[in-house]
């Protein structure tokens, strides 16, 4: 595993930004916020031509497609010192499941493991690898939802709270059951829309009861699910990816708000 200090001694750390499908398609500003945070910390950020990490195929039982997409991602990103994703679930796919997908494959398993070892979810990378605290200001009461894959596959819980704790003007309030699923579940929410709805209803009730005016999380899928439900219910909570607030982009339109 590359040592950031040593890498930084000779030249800036080169980070490959794996933006994820949803950020690429729906909310590019999360990609820019991520890039800004990494650049502010002294990294060089590159965005190579990329598609999907393969998680939807993997979770739908299409292992062959999952392996093909994983191999492509390995080829694309293995040249960087680090790979950073603004998503716990896509990062979990690379870190936990790529080595699993190539288990016993003499050619690919070592490459999958090598990539997994230098791949990080954004808040973990900032907090635990670079050990930086972004300087930002955000006024208001904020609550944070722990997305399941990030929480349970990668153990992300303290890092986002630590980073948010340093944002000036931000008042953090914990909702009830922040670690309980929001009902998104990738294709689950369209395969079982009514069960998913029942689950997200409980989540939005907890969000509203927390008194927070802004909801943050580290995964755009969950954020879109919760934002969509809050907006349908007419609950006045603005929803953003944590990177936006940390990068000082908290004044831009929230998820589901018209572009100005």
Partner 1 sequence: MTQEVRSRQFNETAQKALADTSLQKALSRFEQGFISRRKAAVEKLPEYDALRDSARDLKDHILAHLDLYLEAYEKNVIASGGHVHWAATAEEANEIIYGICKRLNAKTVAKGKSMISEETGLNAYLEARGLHPVETDLGEYIIQLRGETPSHLISPALHVTKEQVEADFRRAHSALPPERNLDEPTSLLAEARGMLREKFLNVDVGITGANFLIAETGSSVIVTNEGNGDLTQTLAKAHIVISSIEKVVPTREDATLFLRLLARSASGSELSAYTTFSTGARRHDDPDGPREYHVVLLDNGRSNILGGKFQEMLRCIRCSACMNHCPVFHAVGGHAYGWVYPGPIGAVLTPALAGIEKTAKLPNASTFCGRCEEVCPVRIPLPKLMRNWREREFERHLQPAVARYGLALWAAFAKRPALYRAATSLAMKFLRLFGGKGRFRALPLAGGWTKHRDFPSPQGQTFQALWKKRSGAR
14 binds partner 1 (CB under 8 A): no
- Min dist. Cβ of residue 16 to partner 1 (A): 12
Burial 8-41 (b: 16+ CB within 10 A, else e): eeeeebebbbbbbbbbbeebebbbbbbbbbbebb
Residues 238-257 that bind partner 1 (CB under 8 A): 253, 255-257
Angle at alpha carbon of residue 17, lines to 8 and 5, rounded to 5°: 15
For residue 206, state whether it binds partner 1 (rule: CB under 8 A).
Answer: no
Sign for the CA dihedral angle at 102, 103, 106, 109 comes to positive
- Range 103-162, binding partner 1 (CB under 8 A): 148-149, 151-153
**Beta-carbon contacts of residue 25 (< 8 Å; ≥ 6 apart):** none
Contacts with partner 1: how many residues (CB under 8 A)? 68
When the beta carbons of 118 and 229 are compared against partner 1, the nearer one is 229
CB distance 97 to 58 below 8 Å: yes
What's the distance, CA 145 to chain centroid? 12
4/99 with CB nearer partner 1: 99
Q: What are the residue ranges of helices labelled H in 78-218?
A: 88-92, 98-101, 108-117, 122-124, 148-154, 158-165, 188-191, 193-210
| Binding segment (CB under 8 A) for partner 1, from list 6-14, 110-118, 228-236, 241-249 | 228-236
Could you say which residues in the range 30-69 bind partner 1, by CB under 8 A?
A: 30-32, 35, 47, 49-52, 54, 56-63, 65, 68-69
How far is the C-alpha of 75 from the C-alpha of 165, rounded, in Å?
A: 37
List 27, 36, 111, 238, residue binding partner 1 (CB under 8 A): 27
Q: In the stretch 65-94, what mask flags binding to partner 1 with x, by CB under 8 A?
A: x--xx--x----------------------
Q: Residues interacting with partner 1, by CB under 8 A?
A: 19, 23-32, 35, 47, 49-52, 54, 56-63, 65, 68-69, 72, 148-149, 151-153, 180-181, 183-200, 224-225, 227-229, 231-232, 253, 255-259
């Amino acid at each position: 595993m590359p040592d950031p200090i040593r890498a930084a001694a000779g030249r800036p750390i080169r980070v490959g930004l794996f933006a994820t499908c949803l950020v690429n398609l729906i909310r590019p500003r999360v990609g820019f916020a991520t890039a800004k945070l990494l650049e502010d910390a002294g990294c060089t950020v590159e965005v190579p031509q990329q598609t999907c990490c393969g998680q939807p195929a993997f979770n739908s039982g299409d292992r062959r497609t999952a392996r093909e997409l994983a191999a492509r991602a390995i080829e694309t990103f293995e040249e960087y010192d680090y790979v950073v994703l603004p998503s716990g679930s896509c990062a979990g796919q690379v870190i936990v499941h790529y080595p699993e997908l190539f288990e016993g494959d003499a050619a690919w398993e070592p490459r999958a493991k090598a990539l997994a070892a230098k791949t990080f979810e954004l808040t973990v990378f900032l907090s635990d690898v670079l050990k930086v605290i972004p300087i930002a200001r955000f006024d208001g009461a904020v609550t944070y939802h722990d997305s399941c894959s990030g929480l349970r596959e990668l153990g992300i819980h303290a890092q986002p709270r630590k980073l948010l704790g340093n944002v000036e003007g931000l008042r953090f309030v914990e909702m009830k059951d922040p670690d309980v699923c929001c009902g998104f579940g990738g294709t689950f929410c369209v395969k079982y829309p009514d069960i998913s709805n029942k689950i997200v209803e409980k989540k939005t009730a907890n969000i509203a009861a927390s008194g927070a005016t802004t909801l943050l999380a580290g995964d755009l899928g969950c954020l879109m699910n919760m934002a969509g439900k809050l907006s349908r219910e007419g609950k006045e909570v603005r929803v953003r990816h944590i990177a936006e607030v940390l990068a000082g982009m908290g004044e831009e339109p929230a998820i589901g708000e018209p572009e100005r």
